[in-house]
Amino acid sequence: MNQYVQIGEIKVKVPDEEPVAPDSSDCCGSGSCCPCVWDYYRAQQQAWQQAQAGQAD
């Protein structure tokens, strides 16, 4: 089942496995990307952590 959640201003699919951090070369460093690959990674990480916490109940 594809579950999506809103984390801040980013809507992400809840990953089945813990997300892997992007390589430093994946970020352009300009600061103008919205969302940045790091923002997207952090949103996926948070969604995954929330899903894991919900499964522990």
Q: What pLDDT digit, counting tens, does each position of 30-47 carry?
A: 989 989 999 999 999 999
The reply to whether 25 falls in a domain is no
Domain that holds residue 14: 4-20+30-55
pLDDT digits (tens, 9 = 90+) for 1-26: 579 999 999 999 999 999 999 999 99
* pLDDT for residue 56 is more than 60: no
What is the domain count for the chain? 1
Q: Where are the alpha helices (DSSP H) in 16-56?
A: 37-55
Please give the model's pTM, rounded to 2 decimal places: 0.85
The reply to whether 47 falls in a domain is yes
9 CB-side CA count, 13 A: 4
> What pLDDT score does 1 carry?
56
CA distance 12 to 14: 6
**Tokens 């103008």 found at:** 32
Nearest to 27 by CA among 41, 15, 43, 17: 41
